[in-house]
Structure formats: C-alpha cells, structure tokens
C-alpha cells in the first residue's frame, strides 16, 4: 500500500514521512499527498500534514492547489478542510486556479457547490470577487446564477451578519406566533415538548388571516399552508434560516404530529423536527482534555482527534437552524477557553485546535463549577434562564481527583436546584458517551448506568450511550446517515422514558 492509498483511507502517519514524500505527487492522479488527503475528506490528516510541513500552495500536476481541490472535489467536511488550509495559504494565493478547472477560483467552486460556510470562509480570507473564469463570469455573477440568496449574502460576511441581526427580531416574533398558535390548538403541546409556549403577535395574525380563503379558525393543515405562503413572499426569512428554509413550517408540523402521537416516534423520515427539538436546547459540549486523551505511541487509537471531530460535528449539526437564541457552549475538564454560550462553527474550531490534553479527570467538579453554576444556577437566581440545556459529556475514563459518585451527585443536585426554583427537573439533561476503548471508562459508565437505573432523580435526565460514541461516529461514510444518526442520538435524552 502506498502513502497515497493511506491518505485516501485516512490512515496516513505524517510523522513518519520524509521531506521528499511529504510533497510528492501521486503518479496516478498527479495530486500531491496533501491534495489527496484533502479530496478524501479527512480534516485531521490534512492538519497533520500541514503541521509536518506539507506545502499548502504547491500545485499538482495539472496546476490544481489543495485549496482549489477542497472547494472543487471534496465532498466530506469541506468547510473544516477549507478552514485548515486557509491558515497556511497567503492571501495572494487564495484565488490560484488552473485550466483544468476552467479557471474557476476556489470561491467560485464553493459557490457552485452551494456551500455557504466555505463561501463565507473564503470571502473573509480575502478571495477576490471579480476574477473571471473561462465563461467570462466572476464570483458575484456565479453566485447570482445559483438563485440562492444565502450564497450571494455569504460573499459579504460583514454585511450578511448585519442583515441577520436586523432580521432576528422579526423572525423570532413570527416563530413565537406560530408556536403560540399550535400550543393553544393542542392543549399546551409546545410547552410540554419545547418548554416554550410562544407569544401571539397581532400583526402576524392579521397577515395570516388576509391569506386565509375561508372564515373561522384554520385547521392545522391550513395553518401550515398559510405559514408556507407567508414565507415564500419573504425571501429574506428563508435567507436567515440558510439551509433549513422550512424551519417555521416544520415547527408547526412537528407540534401537530406530537400532539397526536405522544410517544415521540416520528419515524426515520422526520429528521428535521428532531433537529428542531434538539436545537431548542442550549447545547453544551463537555470534552475530556485529560492526559489520557493524548495519542499514545504504538496504539492505533486516536482519542483526541476523534473527540475533536465529534465535538465539531455536534456543533455544526446543532447550529444549522435558529432556536430561541443561537450558539453552542464548549467546555473542558481541565482548561479554560472561550466560555461564551454562543460560539459559532469557526469559534468552536478555533477553541478545539487550541487545546492540548493534560491533567486529570475531575469530571463532576468541573461540571458544577464551569457549566452548571454560570449557565444554570446564576441565571436561575437572576430569573434569566430562558432555555433548557442539553449537556453532552465525552470522556475516555473514570474520574480522578474526586470521588466516583461526584458526577451523579452533581447531576442530582442540579435537578434539585431546578425544582427548588419552580422549574422542571428535566430542564437540564445529560448525555454521556465513551471515547476510546479504556476498560476504566467501561467500568465507570457501567456504574453510572446502575446509579441511573436505581435513582428516579436520574432516570429522566441522564442518558448513557451504549458502546463507544467515537467508534460509531467514525464508522459513517455517508453524510446524510451521519447527520441522521447524530440528531437521533442527541434527541434520545429528550424523549422521556427512553434510553439509549
């Protein structure tokens, strides 16, 4: 097996490469080793090659650069790979292209893929908008030809952000009205499912009634059609929701379905409603950065890279639509980083790449001090806790520097504090998943499961992933199946009475 075969499989060990191998070309494809890893869609491998010294601006046999191929040929993890490459590509080389690509720049390729995240990354990095391709079109014209307003807006990130902020108030007002109508129609269905009743808006009510053909209260099906018609006349609302243009319609549909079927079994085709319910919760990704997560020589396990990929994918999947407030919080057991609850995808990637595993595993103590106190207890006292939390705990072992029962006690105390303040115990839920194959982690999670099964205070708020979270995550090669699996996994803790 050649080093290029290994790069295509994601098994390449960059540390063992000689300088000549590092920047060599595949005799079959003409691609450099870095370009091969880029097209194969392995972000961690791309990063390892770059750190080892692979040249990000080196042209392949036909003139392609790794950045051009990332935007043009990569089908997996494109935005993350583009982001990693841009850290090593000077501004003057961002637009490098070639005859084989019909002189489409990386930005044009990302536009044609309708990849809004990659378009935005390239635009922020300084990609030029007015270079022409073989057909005589520049990036602005290529974007216009897609007919996608979200792609066009991504060419001007600062202006796009300003527009989104201006739209946020109106969008949320409309969403609240939809939620309120469904909640009233189906006996508090929305408040039971989302902990969110909504709020009627008189102006929205008038607009929808003007579109109604008959008199009286519309049926659920008629109401969904009214919402759909309203949104079709408001293209900027669709822009706000980016790739989830039917967000508001599907909130109404999901609530109607749940009102009829309280088992919450929506079927394999109902991925979006589950996405909505997951993202209505404040996501907190709690990562293990203890020393045991570092890659050990002589072992095949890559615990730290696997956790980084998993955390980034959770962030990416759960920030695709707008809940009542945006963002993902990222926390580590040992190290403090950006503790904003509203990190975007770029912020998550930046923080993840700034951490080096070290220290022990005081998992329960840190959960209380760095997550529950600032994000639950303090807002409860101030009366500002607006959203329920879903805390995904990733760990590769058992606790150290604290008793084994600390994590259980902290979770129980959280429920007690919520109830003391008049909130439901399940306002904060926890998903625990194992990273790596440590026998210590297996034993710890087995004990955690026993504690949950024997303590009613834990039963509805603590859910434990069966098996290795990272192993199953890494087994997926199909993007759609991966997103579906991840949303259904995150949805499980929210389905009361079910276990994973």
| Co-location of 253 and 380 in the same domain | no
| Co-location of 372 and 478 in the same domain | yes
| Co-location of 46 and 126 in the same domain | yes
Give me the DSSP letters along 81-120.
HHHHHHTTS-GGGTT---TTTTT--HHHHHHHTT-HHHHH
Count the domains in the chain.
3
3-state SS assignment for residue 356: coil
Q: Does a structural domain hold residue 212?
A: yes
For the record, the structure tokens of 476 come out as: 């997926």
* Residue whose entry in the numeric block shows the structure tokens 């303090």: 378
| Co-location of 141 and 66 in the same domain | yes
Give me the DSSP letters along 415-440.
HHHHHHTT--GGGEEEEEEE-S--HH
Contacts of 413 (CB under 8 A, 6+ apart): 368
Contacts of 189 (CB under 8 A, 6+ apart): 182, 183, 255, 256, 258, 259
3-state SS assignment for residue 145: helix
**pLDDT given at position 405:** 87
Boundary residue ending a domain (155, 185, 208)? 155
Q: Does a structural domain hold residue 248?
A: yes
3-state SS assignment for residue 65: coil
| Co-location of 253 and 335 in the same domain | no
| Co-location of 102 and 10 in the same domain | yes
Q: In the 8-state DSSP scheme, what is residue 428?
A: E
What are the beta bridge partners of residue 433?
394
Q: Does a structural domain hold residue 115?
A: yes
CATH number for the domain spanning 35: value is 1.25.40.20
- What is the CB neighbour count within 10 angstroms for residue 346? 15
CB-based contact 131:138 (threshold 8 Å): yes
- How confident is the prediction along the chain (500 residues), in pLDDT tens digits per residue? 899 999 998 888 888 888 889 999 999 999 999 999 999 998 888 988 998 899 999 999 999 999 999 999 998 888 889 988 999 999 999 999 999 999 999 999 999 999 888 998 899 899 999 999 999 999 999 999 998 887 888 888 766 544 443 443 444 455 556 656 655 655 554 454 444 455 666 766 776 676 666 666 666 566 656 665 655 555 434 433 333 344 444 444 444 443 343 333 333 334 545 666 676 678 899 999 888 888 655 456 788 888 888 888 888 777 654 444 456 889 999 988 888 877 877 778 788 888 888 888 889 999 999 999 999 999 888 877 767 889 999 998 878 878 878 999 999 999 999 888 877 788 899 999 999 888 888 888 889 989 988 888 888 899 998 888 888 888 877 766 777 788 888 888 877 433 22
The CB-side HSE value for 101 (13 A sphere, CA atoms) comes to 30
State pTM to two decimals: 0.51
What are the counts of helices (DSSP H) followed by strands (DSSP E) for the chain? Answer: 26, 5
| Co-location of 349 and 229 in the same domain | no
The CB-side HSE value for 418 (13 A sphere, CA atoms) comes to 23
| Co-location of 327 and 445 in the same domain | yes
Phi, psi of 335 (to 5 degrees): -115, 140
Alpha carbons 286 and 390: distance in angstroms, whole number:
10
Phi, psi of 468 (to 5 degrees): -95, 120
Q: Which of 84, 59, 477 is nearest to 308 (CA)?
A: 84
Q: Which of 120, 231, 217, 116 is nearest to 170 (CA)?
A: 231
Burial class (CB in 10 A: 0-12, 13-18, 19+), 180: buried
CATH number for the domain spanning 435: value is 3.40.50.410
Contacts of 303 (CB under 8 A, 6+ apart): 292, 293, 294, 295, 396, 435, 436, 470
| Co-location of 140 and 174 in the same domain | no
Q: Does a structural domain hold residue 419?
A: yes
Boundary residue ending a domain (114, 132, 155)? 155
Alpha carbons 80 and 350: distance in angstroms, whole number:
11
**pLDDT given at position 254:** 44
Give me the DSSP letters along 19-44.
HHHHT-B-TTT--BHHHHHHHHT-HH
Boundary residue ending a domain (155, 174, 193)? 155
Q: Does a structural domain hold residue 290?
A: yes
Q: Which of 138, 62, 71 is nearest to 98 (CA)?
A: 62
Q: Which of 66, 208, 235 is nearest to 149 (CA)?
A: 235
Q: Does a structural domain hold residue 68?
A: yes
Burial class (CB in 10 A: 0-12, 13-18, 19+), 312: buried
Alpha carbons 392 and 500: distance in angstroms, whole number:
14
| Co-location of 188 and 257 in the same domain | yes
Helix (H) or strand (E) holding 255: helix 247-260
| Co-location of 376 and 480 in the same domain | yes
For the record, the structure tokens of 144 come out as: 């216009």
Helix (H) or strand (E) holding 252: helix 247-260
**pLDDT given at position 172:** 46
Question: What's the domain range around 173?
Answer: 164-262
Q: Does a structural domain hold residue 379?
A: yes
* Residue whose entry in the numeric block shows the structure tokens 């807002």: 379
| Co-location of 70 and 198 in the same domain | no
Q: Does a structural domain hold residue 270?
A: no
């Amino acid at each position: 097996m050649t080093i290029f075969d290994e790069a295509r499989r994601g098994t390449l060990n960059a540390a063992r490469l000689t300088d000549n191998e590092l920047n060599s070309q595949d005799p079959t494809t003409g691609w450099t080793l870095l370009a091969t890893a880029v097209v194969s869609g392995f972000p961690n491998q791309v990063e390892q090659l770059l750190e080892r010294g692979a040249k990000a601006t080196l042209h392949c046999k036909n003139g392609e650069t790794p950045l051009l191929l990332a935007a043009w040929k990569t089908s997996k993890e494109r935005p993350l790979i583009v982001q990693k490459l841009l850290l090593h590509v000077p501004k003057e080389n961002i637009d490098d292209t070639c005859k084989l690509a019909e002189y489409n720049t990386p930005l044009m390729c990302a536009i044609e893929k309708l990849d809004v995240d990659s378009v935005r990354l390239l635009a922020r990095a300084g990609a030029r908008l007015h270079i022409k391709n073989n057909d005589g079109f520049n990036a602005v014209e290529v974007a216009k030809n897609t007919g996608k307003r979200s792609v066009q807006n991504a060419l001007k990130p600062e202006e796009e952000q300003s527009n989104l902020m201006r739209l946020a108030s109106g969008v949320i007002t409309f969403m609240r009205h939809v939620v309120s109508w469904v909640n009233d129609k189906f006996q508090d269905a929305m408040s039971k499912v989302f902990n969110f009743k909504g709020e009627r808006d008189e102006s929205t009510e008038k607009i929808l009634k003007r579109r109604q053909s008959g008199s009286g209260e519309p049926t659920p099906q008629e109401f969904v059609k009214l919402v759909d018609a309203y949104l079709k006349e408001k293209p900027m609302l669709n822009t706000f929701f980016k790739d989830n243009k039917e967000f508001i319609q599907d909130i109404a549909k999901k609530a109607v379905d749940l009102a009829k079927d309280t088992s919450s079994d929506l079927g394999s085709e109902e991925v979006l409603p589950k996405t909505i319910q997951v993202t209505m919760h404040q996501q907190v990704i709690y990562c293990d950065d203890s020393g045991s997560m570092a890659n050990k020589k002589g072992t095949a396990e890559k615990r730290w890279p696997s956790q980084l990929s998993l955390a980034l994918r959770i962030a990416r999947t759960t920030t695709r639509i707008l809940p009542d407030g945006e963002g993902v919080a990222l926390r580590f057991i040992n190290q403090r980083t950006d503790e904003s609850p509203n990190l975007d995808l770029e912020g998550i990637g930046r923080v993840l790449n700034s951490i080096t595993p070290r220290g022990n595993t005081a998992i329960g103590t840190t959960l209380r001090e760095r997550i529950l106190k600032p994000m639950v207890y303090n807002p409860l006292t101030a009366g500002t806790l607006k959203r329920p939390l879903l805390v995904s705990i990733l760990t590769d072992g058992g606790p150290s520097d604290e008793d084994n029962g600390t994590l259980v006690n902290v979770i129980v105390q959280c429920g007690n504090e919520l109830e003391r303040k008049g909130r439901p115990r399940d306002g904060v839920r926890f998903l625990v998943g194992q990273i790596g194959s440590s026998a210590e982690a297996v034993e710890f999670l087995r004990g955690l499961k026993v504690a949950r099964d024997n303590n009613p205070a834990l039963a509805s708020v603590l859910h434990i992933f069966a098996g290795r979270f990272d192993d199953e995550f890494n087994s997926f090669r199909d993007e759609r199946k991966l997103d579906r699996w991840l949303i259904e996994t995150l949805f499980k803790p929210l389905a009361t009475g079910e276990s994973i």
